[in-house]
């Protein structure tokens, strides 16, 4: 087994981000364009794919009370730091924030839909008062800059679909499986294997969970679970504690808390969902740090395993993918084997498949709490060797085939679902 390659996969598919990653990708694209503009930004145009628009419309912009594509792009152009990647705007000054707001409110930021089969696509063009222009394009991954143009001169030009950095999806697909992930978790050497992003995920995602529990963010799903426990409406214990911890992190993130997260497959919510149920359950069970580290690794690798074919954005909610990873991590944490991890996959995808993604927003935390609850139930079933049967729905005897069926449903069904959802969202906005 190539431990170095699996660690490389982990460390390329997990990264630090502040706020929702779709607005962050827009801001990063704008920052890249701005870096090649002669003069100050006076006009800004954003073109984006349906999935980007859907996920960026209602997500909070870190450090502000604003939401939306226009503010994300403007802040990236006025105060973004390219080298910060998905933390691009977390160090913007008050003056830069004010300049971004003024640019939007002056009507000098325009937006449109890019007709492209690419699910993740952002194009930003900036203009100065004296006619200079610059353009940048991000596609296929949130930090994947494929095109840069300065005053009509092309500086960077890669084909759409090209992954400039990271491990190609076909390599990830070849290396990862339920069995290989289980074996890696058993064989890894915490001292020698490069698991710095796993360690960072445990630390950073715990911190934003605590922020959500202490602050007042979004729908306060985590706090509502806490309230229900305090009043005896929900039983305190491992499952509800994990639901509270995970939802609280999503509460803070989606409200624009200026606190970083570690992502999974380009999503902060999925990074939180793949991490916090395991961390919380390990605390309840009194598991060792070593066992928790291995279980969190299983969770993140399983989510990456599904995502490498599923894609980063879809008409189906990504929390179902991360929740499936969490279910496998819970099975591992509680002493289960690879076969039982497969049962957990079948149970999860037999249950939560079909949960729609209707954009990134506050109630993502509600969907996440649902997936966390389901992850525990499915893990418990798996530990008792109970699995959804292969004659039921999209579930197959081989859980790897179940994953392929799920991926097909998400990929082939997404274009229609995404366009319907976006049409509803845009119509509602106009009303």
User: Which is higher by pLDDT, 64 or 306?
Assistant: 306
pLDDT above 90 covers a percentage of the chain that reads 80
CA dist 319 and 311 (Å) reads: 13
pLDDT of 421 above 90:
no
What average pLDDT is seen over the chain? 94
Each as own residue / partner, the long-range contacts of residues 162-169 (CB below 8 Å, 24 or more positions apart, any chain) are 165/12, 166/12, 166/13, 166/141, 167/5, 167/8, 167/9, 167/12, 167/13, 169/308, 169/309
SS3 category, 135: strand
CATH topology of domain 17-157: 60s Ribosomal Protein L30; Chain: A; (3.30.1330)
260: its two tokens: 């970083």
Give the pLDDT score at 161. 77
In Å, what is the CA distance from 286 to each residue of 53, 226, 280, 294?
A: 43, 21, 10, 15
Q: Which residues are CB-contacts of 376 (< 8 A; sequence separation ≥ 6)?
A: 238, 239, 242, 277, 281, 327, 330
Is residue 162 over pLDDT 90?
no
What is the C-alpha to C-alpha distance for residues 430 and 236, in angstroms, rounded to an integer? 43
Question: Residue 129 pLDDT > 90, yes or no?
Answer: yes
Q: Residue 183: which pLDDT band, with cuts at 50, 70 and 90?
A: very high
Has residue 431 got a pLDDT over 60? no
114 pLDDT tier (thresholds 50, 70, 90): very high
List Cβ<8 Å contacts ≥24 apart for 159-164. Answer: 160/116, 160/118, 160/121, 161/118
pLDDT, residue 310, reads 82
Tell me which residue of 161, 202, 147 sits closest to 29, measured CA to CA. 147
| pLDDT, greater one: 305 or 413 | 305
DSSP character for 89?
T
Question: How far is it, in rounded angstroms, from Cα 92 to Cα 27?
Answer: 11
What is the DSSP-derived secondary structure letter of residue 161?
A: T
Q: Please determine, for residue 266, whether its predicted confidence score (pLDDT) is greater than 70.
A: yes
Q: Give, in order, the Cα–Cα distances in Å from 261 to each of 15, 205, 257, 272, 423.
A: 8, 5, 10, 7, 30
pLDDT of residue 17: 94
Alpha-carbon distance of 426 to 175, in angstroms, equals: 41
Residue 401: burial class (beta carbons within 10 Å; 0-12, 13-18, 19+): middle
> CATH for 176-430?
1.10.4100.10
Residue 429 confidence class, pLDDT cut points 50, 70, 90: low
Whether the Cβ atoms of residue 299 and residue 197 lie closer than 8 Å to each other: no
- pLDDT at position 142 is 93
pTM (predicted TM-score)? 0.93
Asked whether residue 177 carries a pLDDT value surpassing 90, the answer given is yes
Tokens coding 275: 């991490």
- Judge contact between 319 and 361, C-beta under 8 A: no
State the DSSP string of 214-270. Answer: HS--TT-HHHHHHHHHHTTSS--SHHHHHHHHHHHHHHHHHTT-S-EEE-BTTBHHH
| Residues 253-272, mean pLDDT to the nearest whole number | 93
Residue 430: what pLDDT?
61
At 386, is the pLDDT very low, low, confident or very high (cuts 50, 70, 90)?
very high
Question: Is beta strand 121-128 parallel, antiparallel or unpaired with respect to 153-157?
Answer: unpaired
Classify the C-alpha dihedral 280-281-287-293 as positive or negative: negative
Mean pLDDT of 206-215: 97
pLDDT band (50, 70, 90) for residue 422: confident
Q: Is the pLDDT of residue 311 over 80?
A: no
Q: Where in the chain is the domain with CATH 1.10.4100.10?
A: 176-430
DSSP codes of every residue in 333-384: HTT--HHHHHHHHHHHHHHTTT-B---SSTTHHHHHHHHHHHHHHHHHHHHT
pLDDT tens, position by position, 351-374: 999 898 888 888 999 999 999 999
Q: Could you tell me where in the chain the CATH 3.30.1330 domains are found?
A: 17-157
């Amino acid at each position: 087994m190539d431990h170095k390659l699996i660690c490389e996969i982990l460390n390329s598919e997990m990264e630090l981000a502040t706020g929702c990653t779709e607005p962050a990708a827009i801001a990063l694209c704008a920052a890249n364009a701005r870096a090649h503009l002669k003069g100050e930004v006076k006009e800004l145009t954003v073109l984006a794919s349906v999935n980007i628009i859907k996920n960026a419309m209602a997500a909070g912009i870190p450090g502000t009370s604003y939401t939306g594509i226009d503010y994300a792009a403007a802040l990236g152009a006025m105060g973004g730091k390219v080298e910060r990647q998905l933390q691009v705007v977390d160090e913007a000054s008050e003056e830069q924030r004010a300049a971004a707001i003024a640019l939007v409110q002056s009507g000098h930021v325009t937006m449109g839909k890019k007709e492209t089969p690419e699910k993740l696509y952002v194009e930003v063009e900036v203009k100065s008062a004296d006619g200079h222009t610059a353009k940048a394009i991000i596609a296929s991954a949130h930090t994947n800059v494929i095109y840069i143009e300065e005053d009509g001169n092309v500086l960077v030009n890669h084909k759409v679909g090209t992954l400039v950095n990271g491990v190609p999806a076909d390599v990830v697909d070849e290396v990862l499986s339920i069995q290989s992930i289980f074996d890696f978790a058993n064989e890894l050497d915490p001292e020698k294997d490069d698991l710095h992003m796993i360690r960072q995920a445990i630390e950073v995602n715990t911190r934003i969970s605590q922020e959500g529990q202490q602050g007042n963010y979004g729908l306060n799903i985590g706090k509502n679970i806490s309230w229900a426990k305090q009043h005896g409406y929900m039983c305190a214990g491992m499952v509800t504690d994990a639901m509270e911890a995970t939802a609280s992190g999503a509460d803070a993130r989606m409200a624009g808390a200026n606190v970083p997260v570690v992502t999974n497959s380009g999503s902060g919510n999925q990074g939180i969902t793949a991490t916090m149920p395991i961390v919380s359950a390990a605390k309840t069970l009194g598991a060792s740090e070593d066992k928790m580290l291995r279980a969190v690794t299983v969770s993140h690798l399983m989510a990456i395993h599904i995502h490498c074919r599923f894609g980063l954005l879809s008409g189906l909610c990504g929390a179902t993918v991360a929740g499936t990873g969490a279910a496998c991590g819970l099975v591992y944490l509680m002493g289960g084997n690879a076969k039982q991890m497969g049962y957990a996959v079948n149970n999860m995808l037999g249950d939560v498949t079909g949960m729609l993604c209707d954009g990134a927003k506050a109630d993502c935390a509600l969907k996440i709490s649902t997936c966390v609850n389901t992850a525990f139930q499915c893990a418990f079933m798996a530990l008792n060797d109970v699995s959804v049967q292969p004659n039921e729905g999209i579930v197959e005897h081989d859980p790897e085939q179940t994953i392929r069926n799920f991926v097909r449903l998400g990929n082939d069904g997404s274009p229609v679902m995404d366009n319907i959802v976006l049409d509803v969202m845009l119509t509602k906005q106009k009303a």
